[in-house]
Amino acid sequence: MHKVFQSCYALDQRCYTAYGLTEDILMEHAATGMAAYIQAHFEAGSTILIVSGTGNNGADGIVLARQLYGAYAVKLYLPFGVKSVMAKKQLARAEAVGVPMVDTPEDATIVVDAIFGAGLNRNLNEETCAVIARLNCFKGFKIACDIPTGVGEEGSLMPVAFRADVTLTMGAYTEAHYLDESKAYIGELLSIDLGVSREQYEVPCHTYVLEAGDLTLPSRTGLDSHKGTFGHAAVFCGEKEGAGIIAGMAANRFGAGLTTLVVHDKVSPPAWLMHATDLPKNSTAIAIGMGLGAHFEREFLQKNVVESHVPIVLDADAFYHSDLLAILEQKERDIVVTPHPKEFTLLWKKLTGEKLSVAEVQRKRFEMVRKFNALYPHVTLLLKGATMLIIQEERLYINPLGSPKLSKGGSGDVLSGLIVSLLAQGCSGIESALQASLAFTCAAEKYRGASYAMLPTDIIEALALLERA
How many Å apart are CA 266 and CA 241, to the nearest integer? 10
Report pLDDT for 355. 96
DSSP of 330-359, one letter per residue?
A: -TTS-EEE---HHHHHHHHHHHH-----HH
- Asked whether the beta carbons of 251 and 423 are under 8 A apart, the reply is no
- Is residue 449 predicted with pLDDT exceeding 70? yes
* pLDDT tens digits along 90-101: 999 999 999 999
Average pLDDT over residues 411-429: 98
Angstrom distances, CA of residue 387 to CA of 414, 436, 463? 17, 14, 20
- pLDDT tens digits, 152-165: 988 889 999 999 99
Q: What is the arithmetic mean of pLDDT over 192-208?
A: 95
Q: What is the pLDDT of residue 99?
A: 97
Alpha helices (H) along 214-363? 241-253, 298-301, 322-325, 341-352, 358-363
pLDDT at residue 38 is higher than 60: yes
CATH architecture of residue range(s) 2-205: 3-Layer(aba) Sandwich (3.40)
pTM: 0.94
Distances (CA, A) of 233 to 269, 294, 418: 15, 22, 10
Section 419-432 average pLDDT? 98
Give the CATH number of domain 213-468.
3.40.1190.20
Do strands 232-236 and 258-262 pair parallel, antiparallel, or not at all (unpaired)? parallel
Contact between residue 349 and residue 362 where contact means Cβ atoms under 8 Å apart: no
Say how far residue 396 (Cα) sits from the centre of its chain.
11
Element (H, E) at 191: strand 188-192
What's the average model confidence in pLDDT over 6-14?
93
Number of H helices, E strands in the chain: 16, 19
What is the rounded distance in angstroms from the CA atom of residue 359 to the CA atom of residue 342? 9
Q: What percent of the chain has pLDDT over 70?
A: 100
What pLDDT, on the 0 to 100 scale, is given for residue 97? 97
Res 184 pLDDT > 70? yes
Pairing of strands 207-209, 2-5: antiparallel
pLDDT tens-digit profile of 129-180? 999 999 999 999 999 999 999 999 888 899 999 999 999 999 999 999 999 9
> What SS3 state is found at 46?
coil
469 pLDDT above the threshold of 60: no
What mean pLDDT value characterizes the chain?
Answer: 94
What's residue 265's pLDDT?
Answer: 76
DSSP 448-459: -S-TTT--HHHH
**Where do you find CATH 3.40.50.10260 in the chain?**
2-205
Q: Which pLDDT does position 394 carry in this prediction?
A: 95
pLDDT digits (tens, 9 = 90+) for 216-231: 999 988 777 777 778 9
Average pLDDT over residues 309-313: 96
Question: How many Å apart are CA 252 and CA 460, to the nearest integer?
Answer: 10
Exposure of 277 by Cβ count < 10 A (0-12 exposed, 13-18 middle, 19+ buried)?
A: exposed
Distance of CA 9 to the CA centre of its chain: 22
Question: Is 70 exceeded by the pLDDT of residue 250?
Answer: yes
CATH 3.40.1190.20 domain range(s) in the chain? 213-468
Spatial distance between the Cα atoms of 134 and 47, rounded to a whole number of angstroms? 17
Q: In what order do the strands lie in the sheet with 285-288?
A: 173-174, 2-5, 207-209, 395-399, 388-392, 380-383, 335-337, 312-314, 285-288, 232-236, 258-262, 274-276
Question: To the nearest whole percent, how much of the chain has pLDDT over 90?
Answer: 89
